[in-house]
Amino acid sequence: MSDMKHPHWPHLERRVSRHDVVCWYVRRGHGLRTRLRAPVGTPGFEAEYLAALRGETPSKQKGPAAGTLGWLWERYCDSSAWSALSPATRRQRENIMKHVLEAAREAPLGEMTKQVIVAGRERRQKTPSQANNFLKLMRGLFAWAVEAELVKSNPADGVKAVKTKTIGFRAWEEDDVDKFEQQWPLGTRECLALAVLLYTGLRRGDAARLGRQHIKNGRISVATEKTGTQVTIPLAPELVDAIKAVKLKGLTFVAQENGQPLTKESFGNWFGEACKVAGLKGYNAHGLRKLAAIRLALNGATVPQLNAVFGWKGSKMASYYIEQADRIRLAAGSAGLNKKPETLVSLFEDPFD
């Protein structure tokens, strides 16, 4: 019996959950159902079935049964493929998988079909970024499983991502910076956070951990959290002034009141609230990264220079901001390059030279 893929045994019921996961139960007459946890077709499944017929309580396992989604996830998290992901990506995928496992931890791998992956995407389609991150997670998980010969094929292959119409985070403009600084003047932690973001172009996760340990010889050198790329950024005078104006309690520039570093998420939420107080609802840290790139492009930064500061590779992103700068120049016409050209400080000028 143990090699039957879809057994038809007495008192055995097959049910499909609302998450499209196949579950097997033993039920005599109108009595209570006993869930069978082991993957169908295995000796463990047969043993659980026979125990349920005898009315025995299934023994609790220390971990997910072999051949289940939870079992696969535990092994993936011990793999080199998982270790190669950035800390931020791992945290994101752990949060997604937490909800997946709540519904399908004991789902047999043989039941993880393309239709199941599509159904998971569709449940998240109202939030396209979540749907697409779910797909990235499933593709990565099962691609590793195929290589490790734990499954024969990747059920996420060929599943299309959800199309998005978003243009991304709103880029700040010079007037927005002025408005923020009016609410949060020099000497406040909020003004320091603005300066860190604007004069380094770092993402919020890197900005949250930036500190004295990353500065040497008038330059910032830090390995980015997202890609691990080492970026080197000359220290702008405006950032130096903002750092000196705040009494720091630790190495980290933008920290909690007690000097302890902020997490990426708490830094982003805190800065977002500061934007709201300044009348900039809907603005966030990443929008300042865009303004920093536009400023440098307006100052004539080349593709290699932009890549060096922002940690990009290739020419796609850098060329995009150079094109945006060209549009600003054309739109400005005879009125001038920028209403406040003196504020376009080049990060390539070392203030300590």
d(CA 198, CA 67): 49
182-210 per-position pLDDT tens digit: 999 999 999 999 999 999 999 999 999 99
Can you give the pLDDT at residue 166?
A: 57
DSSP lists the bridge partners of residue 177 as none
Which tens digits make up the pLDDT trace of 22-49?
778 898 888 888 888 776 767 778 888 8
- Size of the chain, expressed as the number of residues it contains: 353
- Quote the pLDDT of residue 19: 57
**8 A C-beta contact, residue 161 and residue 135:** yes
| Segments of the chain with pLDDT less than 70 | 1-7, 17-21, 39, 41, 58-63, 165-168, 332-353
Is the sign of the CA dihedral 101, 18, 14, 109 positive or negative?
negative
Q: Give per-residue burial for 226-240: e unless 16+ CB within 10 Å, then b.
A: eeeeebebbbbebbb
Q: Positive or negative CA dihedral for 282, 283, 284, 286?
A: positive
Give the tens place of pLDDT for each residue, 92-132: 999 999 999 988 988 999 899 999 999 999 999 988 889 99
Amino acid 33: pLDDT: 87
Helix pair angle (303-310, 316-332), 10° resolution: 120
How far is the C-alpha of 334 from the C-alpha of 326, rounded, in Å?
14
pLDDT value at residue 348: 40
Identify residue 292 by its one-letter amino acid code: A
What pLDDT score was predicted for residue 30?
83
* pLDDT at residue number 21: 64
31-37, Cβ contacts within 8 angstroms, sequence gap of 24 or more: 34/58, 37/61, 37/65, 37/68, 37/106
For 174-343, CATH gives: 1.10.443.10
Which pLDDT value is given to residue 229?
Answer: 86
* Count of beta carbons in the 10 Å neighbourhood of residue 157: 13
- Give the per-residue pLDDT at 55: 84
pLDDT for res 87: 81
Strands 215-216 and 34-36: unpaired
Which pLDDT belongs to residue 163? 85
For residue 132, the model assigns a pLDDT of 94
Half-sphere exposure of 123 (CA within 13 A, CB side): 15
Q: In this structure, are residues 282 and 170 in contact, taking their beta carbons and an 8 Å threshold?
A: yes
Q: Where are the domains of the chain?
A: 12-53, 69-147, 174-343
